[in-house]
Amino acid sequence: MSMERLVMRQIKEVLRLKLECKLSNSKVAIGCNISRETVRKYLIRAADANLSWPLPVGMDDDQLEALLFPCDGKYQNKDDRPDLKWVHSELKSPGVTLSLLWDEYKANNPNGIGYSRFCVLYKAFVNTLDPVMRQIHKAGEKLFVDYAGTTIAWTDKATGEIKQAELFVATLGASNHTFVEATHTQSLEDWIGSHCRAFVFFGGVTKIIVPDNLKSGVTKAHIYDPKINLTYQDMADHYKVAIIPARVSTPKDKAKVETSVRGITQSITAKLRHHNFFSVADINKAIAPLLTAYNNKGFQKLPGSRSSTFTEIDQPALQELPEHEYEYASWRTVRVNIDYHVHHNKYYYSVPYTYIKKEINIRITSNIIQCFYRSKLIATHVRDRNQRYSTIKEHMPKNHQEYAEWTPERIFKWASKSGAQTAEFIKNLLEAKPLPQQSFRACLGVMRLGKQYGDDKLEKACARASALNSFSYKSVASILKHGLEDKPLPEISVASTAPREHSNVRGSNYYT
């Protein structure tokens, strides 16, 4: 049935529901699957033409059209009719509107239909498309991402265990061109890596990413103010792309990728169901040709395919890839200690002393630690696995009056109150590091043991640890925990080949 006939039938139904059934404009719009504004315009035209219901006997669609659209003119021939598939495709280009397309159509067809009729025909055409195809997404604007609900099994050769690979799906809004890959998990690192590989596959970056409210990407789902994972946001900043998650309980927001997931399930997953795989890499090799065929398959109701539409529309509108691919980084929120260092995985990194006791974010890559306070970069450290403390001298207070609460002198005086052995131990502990501030945390820990066990026991424990040349908080804590402070010191042979000055070597009888 032609678009004209569909429109006329739609108008007749509007008149019947309104004039015969006495329904409100809202209910008529729902019944005809059109907007209330369209209903209102149809009724105004019917009133101007003095039409009632039922229509006069013998009135056909051509006569009804002439009454309702008297100024739009009649087609001179079929070539005067607008190409509605072309209209739908052109609307995806940035800045293109129905008004502009009608102007271009009218310039080539002076006797063609008027603007209102043009819009009515296009609206009727859109209603014949699949719900997802009806949405107008501008070229290069949105990339919809999600995991498919189905997985693909593979066997670990080393253990014989059968594992399930996840399927990451990314679909461009305008062309529906799709990227698919298998990953080991839905972890944050796999999620980020799939995005990076998708951008390389498309050869560019969209302006917006639309994920579902997956925990890997969205830490807190909310219809108005979703919280984006810091690493996900960091990746988005690198590629200069915005992340706008699909709204909770709003299926239309993610309909594009869900439709792709269904297509991928039928065109790829189902075809691989009898294959035996022994790695995720094997799965991706099998996916590649099937994905190419899927993207090259022609549309049913529109010209071209995902691949050809991508080349024509999406690809020219994509932003360029950055010079370097994003390096995965994890983030943590920590509080700066009184020694103006932050702790990560048994290593300590300094920040300017003015941030003591403040909560900051640290960004961790394989080689770099970056510290941020309210999005401002305040410190950068190269990760050195051979050095537990990384301290930048410029982070230290310029004079101790500004940092009077904790200084080496103050800590030593505090230790002296517990006794000479404690003071001597603390002195050695402070001297054990290149900078005494690097030992503040351990010194405070030792002094707090005095509150827990008493100064007498602390004195004996410090004397024992010093005799063993073991200057660390853990040594004193272990002595007190096991009640070793009153036991006689073991005899240590001078000829011993063990390096006594090493803080981790305590002798074979230490815990006896």
Q: List pLDDT tens digits, range 305-314.
A: 999 999 988 9
> Please, what's the largest Cα pairwise distance for the chain?
122
Work out the average pLDDT over 351-358: 93
Instruction: Render pLDDT for 392-419 as a digit per residue (tens, 0 to 9).
Output: 888 887 653 344 456 788 888 889 999 9
User: How many CB atoms are located within 10 Å of the residue 328 CB?
Assistant: 16
State both tokens at 313: 């529309």
> Tokens 């990451």 identify what position?
168
Residue of higher predicted confidence among 327 and 303? 327
State both tokens at 469: 């040349």
Give the H or E element holding residue 189.
helix 188-202
CA atoms of 211 and 229, how far apart (whole Å):
12
Is residue 26 scored above 70 in pLDDT?
A: yes
Is residue 275 scored above 70 in pLDDT?
A: yes
Instruction: Render pLDDT for 458-505 as a digit per residue (tens, 0 to 9).
Output: 999 999 999 988 999 999 999 999 999 888 876 644 444 344 444 433
DSSP string for residues in 448-487: HHHHHH-HHHHHHHHHHHHHTT--SHHHHHHHHHTT-TTS
State both tokens at 113: 């239909």
State both tokens at 167: 């399927």
Helices (H), 3-114: 3-15, 25-32, 36-48, 61-68, 84-90, 98-108
The β-bridge relationship of strands 330-335 and 242-243 is unpaired
User: How many CB atoms are located within 10 Å of the residue 382 CB?
Assistant: 9
User: How many CB atoms are located within 10 Å of the residue 185 CB?
Assistant: 14
Torsion of CA 187, 188, 194, 200, to 10 degrees: -160
- Per-residue confidence at 130, pLDDT binned at 50, 70, 90? low
Whether the bond between 110 and the residue before it is cis, its omega within 30 degrees of 0, is: no
**Under DSSP, is residue 426 helix (H, G, I), strand (E, B) or coil?**
helix
CA atoms of 307 and 298, how far apart (whole Å):
9
- Per-residue confidence at 350, pLDDT binned at 50, 70, 90? very high
Of 375, 458, 447, nearest to 406 by C-alpha is 447
pLDDT at position 260: 79
Across the chain, mean pLDDT equals 82
- 8-state DSSP, 205: B
CA atoms of 190 and 231, how far apart (whole Å):
12
Residue of higher predicted confidence among 320 and 490? 320
Q: Are 502 and 470 in contact (CB under 8 A)?
A: no
> Tokens 């853990």 identify what position?
474
CA atoms of 136 and 128, how far apart (whole Å):
15
Work out the average pLDDT over 28-38: 85
* Residue 296: Cβ-neighbour burial (10 angstroms; 0-12, 13-18, 19+): exposed
End-to-end alpha-carbon separation of the chain, Å?
Answer: 96
Query: Topology of domain 142-317, per CATH?
Result: Nucleotidyltransferase; domain 5 (3.30.420)
Is residue 100 scored above 50 in pLDDT?
A: yes
pLDDT at position 420: 93
pLDDT at position 1: 44
| CATH 3.30.420.10 boundaries in the chain | 142-317
pLDDT at position 19: 87
pLDDT at position 315: 93
Torsion of CA 140, 144, 145, 149, to 10 degrees: -150
DSSP string for residues in 98-112: HHHHHHHHHHH-TTS
Of 268, 272, 260, nearest to 290 by C-alpha is 268
- Using N-to-C axis directions, what is the helix angle for 36-48 and 115-126, rounded to 10°? 130
> What is the number of helices (H) and of strands (E) in the chain?
19, 15
**Under DSSP, is residue 58 helix (H, G, I), strand (E, B) or coil?**
coil
pLDDT at position 55: 85
Is residue 73 scored above 60 in pLDDT?
A: no
Instruction: Render pLDDT for 101-112 as a digit per residue (tens, 0 to 9).
Output: 878 888 888 877
CA atoms of 186 and 226, how far apart (whole Å):
19
Residue of higher predicted confidence among 120 and 420? 420
- State what percent of residues in the chain have pLDDT above 90: 40
What is the side-by-side strand order in the sheet with 359-364? 330-335, 359-364, 368-373, 376-382
pLDDT at position 222: 43
